[in-house]
Structure 1
Amino acid sequence: MDVTLIASDGRALAAHLYHPYREEGPAVVIAGATGVPQRFYRRFATHLAERGATVLTFDYRGVGGSRHAGGPRHDGATMSEWGSLDLNEAIGHLADRDPDRPIAVVGHSAGGWLLSLAPNAQLVSAALTVGSQNGYWRQWTGRARAARYVQWHVALPAVAGLTGVLPGRYFGGETLPGGVAKDWARWGRRRDFVDGAGALPPERRFAGRLLAVSVPDDPFAPETAVAWLPTLYPRAASEVHTLAGRHRGLGHFGAFRPGAEGLWDAGWAWLRGAARAPSRFPLR
């Protein structure tokens, strides 16, 4: 069912609510990757709903159905607002819908660390992230490190400054407002990434159970960068899990594409357990 979320600043956000036949386990918000529209997660969301989850997907401002009528060049959206306003509203929507039901977040890439900007994160019982990382350029090695340095220090600031947008070809998503690029590049130049430059004070961040999943051949999220995520949520009970080598080929996006149903089932099993009691990720 299509729904419209209204963020606290009045911005309308396109969203979709997936209803299960019988509700079991937590309600789930899917917080997507940078510039990736909610429709990319449709099969994954449907899979969870078929197993009892109420699932909410949404488009950040400037993405998909939440794009500005005048296009990204005329959109003043920032990446900070994706967490502090958009993800925050998605969590609040599920909390208002059923105050007694636990809430879980599945964060893909940026979705995992944008949670640190959302005041409503304290309503979340469990968070499962995939490829959510510290984007500081020194987290990479070799040529990838040099590429990240150029990306954060030169390419994104220059392109956003000259054109007012971030073309999708730079990262594999949709063309985004320039303000998003400026936030992203500013954080990528900092060793602590969002931790000291946008995230809420530690005592106001997510404090439930966290499972940070690393994919072995993810070029956008090295294992060491993913291992940083628990430091962003010091009050959470955290676990970092690197998928076995047999999962090579998933890259940064494959865990949410058809063919990864075994991972989806393992993730749902973990979320159901983590929302009520300690549990371990059941797939090695």
Structure 2
Amino acid sequence: MLDATSAVRGVDGEDLDIRSEGALLRGRLVRPRGTPRAALVLHGATGAPARYYRGFAEWAAAERDMAVLTYDYRDFGASLRRPMRGARATLADWGRHDQNAALATLARMYPDTPLWVLGHSVGGLWLGWHEAMGRVSRAITVGSGLTHVTDHPLRYRWKARVFWSPPVRLAAKVAGYLPGQLVGLGADLPRGVYEDWRRWCLARGWHLSDVGRTLPLPDPARVTARLRMIAVADDDLVPPTAVWRARALYPEAMKEQKVLRPEDFGLERIGHIPPFTRRNAVLWPAILD
């Protein structure tokens, strides 16, 4: 289905379904009018719906001649197909199955086009579980780190402790999901997503703490792409030290480290989620180019 809003921007937009293991995801492909120089899948952050990345996707299509696939994880955003209370998704489902399905779908759609991956936060931590990564020539992560609750600066650490506290966990259990408005997150989350997220942020090594138990071994040899790991200097949720810790996930990749500092772009602040807002579009070339 052609998106008229995208058409006036010089790009075409199309909604599509993505079949993931045990789920049907809602995605959106934005592409330039001509032949794209690359096809990029954007794996979003926890709690950030695909519509949040729409401005970035349209910019990448119009200004960088890229076909960009955004999508919502199962039981979230436009992919929520039942009451949130009945959602059964876990964060492991999002990382292992849904991200893998989105990448594989784009690879099938563009078999002869260079394939790129852009992961925001949790979107950049699961690449070793994705079969199609062997075809990817360029990978970029933004704010993707193996974060422990003690990594947060003191000004934020108390908020994190409250977020993972027994009362909030009880609220999620009673409601059957995490009420986003109640805890200041904004978007509601499936309870299983919250439980994974909580467990990993309270454990050293984040999701690696479950490898060999509830998670299978990843295959780091799949990730041989040029990998740009971007940290944000004032990111309280995933500080640069946690981002650099994630280098160990991808030993075979050709890695480059980059830090986005607000003062370098005339901004007062950047933070964890805001790099992809339209008001921070000044950052986008530094992320993608």
Give the TM interval when normalised to the shorter protein.
Answer: 0.7 to 0.9
What is the CA distance between 1:47 and its match in structure 2? 0.5
Say if 2:17 is the partner of 1:17: no
Which position in structure 1 is the counterpart of 2:288?
A: 268
Give TM-score scaled by structure 1 length.
Answer: 0.86
- C-alpha change, 1:56 and 1:62, in structure 2 (3 Å) is same
Q: How does 1:1-284 map to 2 (within 5 A)?
A: 1-9=14-22, 11-50=23-62, 51-69=64-82, 71-152=83-164, 154-169=166-181, 170=183, 172-197=185-210, 198=215, 200-203=217-220, 205-246=222-263, 247-269=267-289
- Conserved in 2, the CA contact under 8 Å of 1:104 and 1:127? yes
- Conserved in 2, the CA contact under 8 Å of 1:7 and 1:85? yes
> Which residue identity is paired with 1:26?
A
Q: Distance in 2 between matches of 1:83 and 1:258?
A: 26
Q: Distance in 2 between matches of 1:161 and 1:268?
A: 40
User: Percent of pairs identical after alignment?
Assistant: 36
- Conserved in 1, the CA contact under 8 Å of 2:95 and 2:122? no
- Conserved in 1, the CA contact under 8 Å of 2:234 and 2:261? no
- C-alpha change, 1:90 and 1:66, in structure 2 (3 Å) is same
Q: Secondary structure at the match of 1:110?
A: helix
- C-alpha change, 1:199 and 1:224, in structure 2 (3 Å) is farther
- C-alpha change, 1:147 and 1:254, in structure 2 (3 Å) is closer
Per-residue CA deviations over 1:184-218 (Å, capped at 9, x if unaligned) read 11111211101242474343553312112112222
What is the CA distance between 1:150 and its match in structure 2? 4.3
What is the CA distance between 1:43 and its match in structure 2? 0.7
Q: Distance in 2 between matches of 1:191 and 1:257?
A: 31
Q: Secondary structure at the match of 2:287?
A: helix
- Conserved in 1, the CA contact under 8 Å of 2:221 and 2:252? no
Q: Secondary structure at the match of 1:235?
A: coil
Over the residues paired in the alignment, what is the CA RMSD in angstroms? 2.1
- C-alpha change, 1:76 and 1:163, in structure 2 (3 Å) is same
What is the CA distance between 1:116 and its match in structure 2? 4.0
Give TM-score scaled by structure 2 length.
Answer: 0.84
Q: Secondary structure at the match of 2:243?
A: helix
- C-alpha change, 1:58 and 1:267, in structure 2 (3 Å) is same
Stretches of structure 2 that go unaligned for 5 or more consecutive residues are 1-13
Per-residue CA deviations over 1:201-248 (Å, capped at 9, x if unaligned) read 343553312112112222212121122121122221212211234144
The number of aligned residues is: 267
Q: Secondary structure at the match of 1:260?
A: helix
What is the CA distance between 1:149 and its match in structure 2? 3.8
Higher mean displacement: 242-251 or 49-58: 242-251
